[in-house]
Amino acid sequence: MKKLGILLVILSFLISCESGKNQRVLVAANGRINNLLVVMKNSEWQGEIGDELRKFIAEPVLGLPQPEAQFEVSQVPIENYGSMFKSSRSILNIGIADKNSFTIGTDVYAAPQKIITITGKSKEDLIEMIQKNSSKIVSEFKDSDLRAVRMKILKKYWEPSTMETFKQQGFSLKIPQEYSKVEDNGEFVWYRYHLFGGNSMELMCYTIPITSDDDVNGNNIVANRDAFGKKNIPGQIEDSYMITEEAYTPHVFEVELDGKKAFETRGKWEVKGVYMAGPFLSYTVVDKANNRLVVVEGLTYAPSINKRDYMFELEAILKTLKIN
């Protein structure tokens, strides 16, 4: 009986080895979100090819009070591209080769990881390939980072079905449990994450009836936002409330969220009559089936410090929106 037990242990070990023979075990990717490793020759990085890359990878993020590049960029030459660098989260390989190509790799050396490789037969071809794929490069790295952020911060989130507003209004958002409730009254949801020194990140969700084509076409976003702030987000003194900063025109883009037409708005908020302001990001989703706009918004109050990564986290949360 003892021999049989030993035999079964050996057999199960051999089977597990056989079944795992083709499985790859990847190390955890290193590097923070919005950090990009560029692998290319020093001479090309310092020349026209590098200049072309910097036009978009170092472009400032829209809607922030102070200029912040959308990526923190590090560059290494090909000969120094060793195992430590290969486990980076986001890698952009650039070089002259025997063909023009653009390829995307996922979880090649580590996880989560995105590697984009661009080659050209000449300097001119390479610059053309970079120009042609600039939007794709940014979106691939950003989407990969958004997924990584969601995996990290949404391990524990408040169950949407327990929130009164979500139950009554028929939509939901996954809000991390690190955020605490400020308001949930059936009409709107407001959650807050406390940062250091009295700073904070805020999440708000509400709906607005569609009353005109201007609502559907995104022409009333600022007016609707200011009306909501006046009614629901009071300031510290009498007759003060949150508005869209009057001196700054928000950037509005038509996008798709939860399979529906939506408007992404990036701008600055302020409190009327009080010296208090910061960046906001909102998505206004056209829910024609229910004749309404569903609005989800994130904003940050963190004077004198960089806010790009805070706003990026809020974006990751806002994009979990689901409309019943």
- 235 band by pLDDT with thresholds 50, 70 and 90: confident
- Per-residue pLDDT at 79 exceeds 50: yes
Q: What is the pLDDT of residues 169-194, one digit of tens each?
A: 999 999 999 999 999 999 999 999 99
Tell me the whole-structure pTM to 2 decimals.
0.89
- Per-residue pLDDT at 97 exceeds 60: yes
Residue ranges of E strands in 81-236: 90-96, 101-106, 110-111, 114-120, 157-158, 171-172, 175-176, 180-184, 188-194, 200-209
Mean pLDDT, residues 197-219 taken together: 96
Cα 78 to chain centroid distance, Å, stands at 29
- Per-residue pLDDT at 290 exceeds 70: yes
pLDDT of 15: 37
Q: Which residue pairs from 156-159 have beta carbons closer than 8 angstroms and sit at least 24 positions apart in sequence? A: 158/191
For 24, the 3-state DSSP assignment is: coil
d(CA 220, CA 242): 17
How confident is the prediction for the chain on average, in pLDDT? 91
The domain spans of the chain are: 27-152, 156-323
d(CA 204, CA 83): 43
Going by CATH, does the domain composed of 156-323 fall within 3.40.1000.10?
yes
- Per-residue pLDDT at 17 exceeds 80: no
Q: Which residue has tokens 């001119």?
A: 124
- Per-residue pLDDT at 317 exceeds 70: yes
Q: What is the pLDDT of residues 128-155, one digit of tens each?
A: 999 999 999 999 999 999 999 999 999 9
- 70 band by pLDDT with thresholds 50, 70 and 90: very high
pLDDT of 240: 87
Residue ranges of E strands in 121-168: 157-158
pLDDT of 18: 42
- Look at strands 35-39 and 251-257 and give their pairing: unpaired
pLDDT of 309: 97
